Amino acid sequence: MRTKYLYDFDLFRCPRRSTDSPVWKSIMKNRDLLKSGFIWKVGKGDKISFWLDNWLENRSPLDITGTAKADITNLDIQVGEFITPQGNWDVNLLNSTLSYHLIVQKILGTTLSVFPSDDSFCWGINSSGKFSTKSATWLAHGVYSHTTSKWPFHWIWKIDTMPKIKIFLWQLCHNIDPSCPLCLSNIELLEHLFKDCLVASQVWEAALTHRWIPSSIFPSRYASLHQCLDHIRLSPTPLLKQRFSFLLWSLWKARNATVFKNDIFNPLLCLIQAKKKLQQSGESELVCQSIPSIRGPSPTSSSTHLVRWYSPPPGVIKLNFDGSLSPTSPAGGFILCDHTERPLKMGSCFYGTTSILVEEARALRDGLQVAIQAGIRNLIIEGDNKIVIQAIEGIIHTPWHIQHIIDDILQWRSQGIQFITKHIFREANMVADWLSKFGHSLTGLLVTDICFSPSLSKILDEDVVGRALVRRGV
């Protein structure tokens, strides 16, 4: 078919003919659908139409901005014209061409390769970049949408609480609705059980009376339980999130005991059970930390693990990297240290609008590039993003979003830069984590060899003395 129909055209510019075969006519009929699923990966940018092609979040800038073609004076401009000879985005030209600041940020979040590469395209619906009939069916039936928002409650998985409570909170946020028998006067949803039920509200009142929770998180004060959870997400106090989650869990267990065991619902007992479970959770962690191992200092049981940062051997430099995603800006950070635990270089960077996966990969690439520029050729690379680490080592198929970045890193390896990669837990990556969060306050890349913050200095000192943190669930 390629020889017969595409000898002088690509698929999306090929004209229809009356002599086309039935199969080819079907392909031509659905090519607009196929086109909406393909995305250009920017290399040199000389083959990609800036306004018309899908290269920005699986869409074209014309589609994203809602601009009519007649209103564009430079409709034929190519993406490559916005790339500087140094391989960076031309921010001034972007700002003068686009009046949409958010679109400029999305473009700045689009990764450019360090090494010159040709433009290519892939199936943007799958992370693998490979076409599948399943994803095409989703697209055809409108299941996949470019504007689908991310689930806003991913933060619940980071609460320092029991795994079964995290799953329970996940069910709660997805509005999986049981029937509640407590007030016997309403057809109840989860919203009613945990916020509006007059019987269940006695539990919250008891917790407030006993000063276990502040009035600011009393659920009935909010229009919805999700708003209450969102308020708790912004709380800087981990203990408050723990108490709230245990209280929700205790209320849920008491409700089930009423349904399945015919127990009498007791608000005060429900609060006592929440306090008891939270205390037991903390005590079990302390016991795991205090029990010595018969075979030596190997940390703990299968459920907890003591994690710390270790210095590299002499002659090797360690590169730690991390990313941070806030609602308004993604950022990354990295640090290079030698065997004396002395920081050689530290970096933070703002990356425009992109995903956490891309920003972590870019933080690694930035750190490695800084190391190479400093004459370093032998490294240990550590990060807490397993996808990035496994993509470098070829363990998994590289997601297309970070393909350019991984290709750059492997290109350096082929040029003689020696490094090994290691996945670590975030508790052993605290300095890189701090630097990535600092990147939110920047507008570009900052590289320094000076520890410029007392809080950063404190974390560095704690790593030097061998501070260990508890990691659960390993």
| Structure tokens given for 163 | 């795994």
**Which residues span the domain enclosing 226?**
154-289
| CATH number assigned to the domain comprising residue 422 | 3.30.420.10
Cα gap 356→204, rounded to integer Å: 36
Tokens of 459: 């974390």
Please identify, among 255, 289, 323, the residue that sits at the C-terminal boundary of a domain.
289
Residue 349 and residue 445 share a domain: yes
**Of 140, 164, 181, the domain-final residue:** 140
Give me the long-range contacts of 268-276 (CB less than 8 A, separation at least 24).
Answer: 268/206, 270/203, 270/206, 271/203, 271/206, 271/207, 271/210, 271/212, 271/247, 274/207, 274/212, 274/243, 274/246, 274/247, 274/249, 274/250, 275/212, 275/246
In a domain, 147, yes or no: no
Q: How many CB atoms lie within 10 A of CB 269?
A: 16
Q: At what angle do helices 430-438 and 356-373 cross, to 10 degrees?
A: 100
Q: 115 and 52 in one domain?
A: yes
User: Any residues with CB less than 8 A from the CB of 8 and at least 6 apart, and which?
Assistant: none
Verify that 119 and 160 share a domain, yes or no. no
| 326 and 449 both lie in a single domain | yes
**Token pair for 49:** 């139409």
Do 239 and 213 lie in one domain? The reply is yes
Q: In terms of domains, do 336 and 363 share one?
A: yes
Any domain includes 148: no
pLDDT of residue 298: 42
Picking from 246, 263, 289, the residue at the C-terminal end of a domain is 289
Task: Return d(Cα 178, Cα 201) in angstroms, integer.
Answer: 17
Q: Quote the number of domains for the chain.
A: 3
Closest CA to 370 of 340, 347, 401: 347
pLDDT at 191: 73
pLDDT value at residue 330: 85
Q: Are residues 161 and 243 in the same domain?
A: yes
Q: Render the burial of 32-62: b for 16+ CB within 10 Å, e for the rest.
A: eebebbbbbbbbbbebbbbbbbbbbbbbbbb
Pairing of strands 343-350, 378-383: unpaired
State phi, psi for 285 to the nearest 5 degrees. -70, -40
Same domain flag for 350 and 454: yes
Partners of 343 in the beta sheet?
Answer: 337
Do 375 and 284 lie in one domain? The reply is: no
Q: Could you report the average pLDDT of every consecutive run of 10 residues in the chain (474 residues)?
A: 78 83 87 86 93 88 87 90 93 90 89 91 86 81 58 75 77 60 68 79 87 82 81 82 88 81 84 86 53 42 72 96 83 95 94 90 97 96 96 94 95 96 93 95 92 92 81 60
280: buried, middle or exposed (CB in 10 Å: 19+, 13-18, 0-12)?
exposed
What are the CA-CA distances from residue 156 to residues 160, 226, 271, 276 (Å)? 9, 12, 21, 21
End-to-end CA distance of the chain: 53
Question: Is 146 among the domain residues?
Answer: no
Whether residue 453 lies inside any domain: the answer is yes
Closest C-alpha among 318, 325, 311 to residue 345: 318
| Within a domain: 300 | no
Residues 58 and 102 reside in one and the same domain: yes
Q: Are residues 174 and 249 in the same domain?
A: yes
Same domain, 282 and 313: no
In a domain, 299, yes or no: no
Instruction: Output the pLDDT for position 302.
Output: 46
Angle, helix 238-260 to helix 201-209, in steps of 10 degrees: 140
| Alpha-carbon distances, residue 130 vs 24, 71, 357, 410, 467 (angstroms) | 21, 35, 18, 21, 44
Residue 49 lies in a domain: yes
Instruction: Answer whether 0.95 is exceeded by the pTM.
Output: no
pLDDT of res. 126: 82
Residue 297 forms part of a structural domain = no
